[in-house]
């Protein structure tokens, strides 16, 4: 597995704050995408999930995460779909090919890499979904796992 350090450029996103099973993620992606289209915005390519805790830490119903898409254009957020600007930031990243449910070893490898190579983890894990289960077989899904970091002095 190749691990790289890179800067992620800042983007504007529409997103939903989610709680509970990861099995609902495809529904949330569809909901955000539908909201973006309905509000006359343009999706600019990034579909992501940011995860604030893990199934190793909490019960399934307590999982907290956000699902969103990068956008261009202006619209008013509502109670369900929010809008924010994500600032540019440094990450370490690795690519996972295969089912979303098998991304765990990549996450663990990135955390281990950070600890062994002088990085401080500065935020939650983000998964960027590079293709869709509607387009490819589960075994061909591509997910870039990103962990925000800064170098320890």
CATH number for region 3-151: 3.20.80.10
The predicted structure's pLDDT at residue 45:
87
The secondary structure element, H or E, covering residue 148 is strand 142-151
pLDDT score at 20: 96
Torsional class of 22: left (φ above 0), alpha (ψ -120 to 50), beta (otherwise): alpha
Torsion sign across C-alpha atoms 87, 129, 31, 34: positive
Which contiguous run of DSSP H or E holds residue 89? strand 89-97
CB-hemisphere CA count at 13 Å for 120? 5
Residue with tokens 């529904």: 27
Instruction: With CA atoms as reference, report the closest residue to 139 among 83, 88, 99, 102.
Output: 99
pLDDT confidence of residue 52: 97
Tell me, what's the pLDDT at 121?
A: 97
Angstrom distance (rounded) from CA 112 to CA 88: 23
Closest CA to 93 of 44, 152, 149, 134: 149
Q: What is the pLDDT of residue 98?
A: 95
Residues 6 or more apart whose Cβ sits within 8 Å of residue 18: 24, 25, 28, 63, 64, 65, 66, 67
Pick out the chain residues at pLDDT < 70. Answer: none
């Amino acid at each position: 597995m190749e691990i790289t350090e890179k800067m992620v450029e800042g983007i504007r996103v529409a997103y939903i704050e989610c709680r509970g099973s990861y099995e609902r993620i495809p529904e949330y992606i569809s909901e955000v995408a539908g909201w973006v289209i309905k509000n006359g915005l343009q999706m600019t390519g990034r579909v992501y999930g940011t995860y604030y805790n893990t199934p190793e830490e909490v019960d399934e119903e307590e999982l907290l995460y956000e699902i969103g898409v990068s956008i261009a254009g202006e619209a008013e957020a509502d109670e369900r779909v929010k809008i924010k600007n994500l600032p540019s930031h440094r990450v370490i990243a690795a690519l996972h090919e295969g089912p979303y449910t098998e991304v765990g070893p990549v996450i663990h490898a990135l955390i281990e890499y950070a600890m062994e190579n002088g990085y401080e983890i500065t935020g939650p894990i983000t998964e960027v979904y590079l293709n869709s289960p509607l387009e490819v077989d589960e075994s061909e899904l591509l997910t870039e796992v990103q962990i925000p970091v800064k170098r320890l002095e």
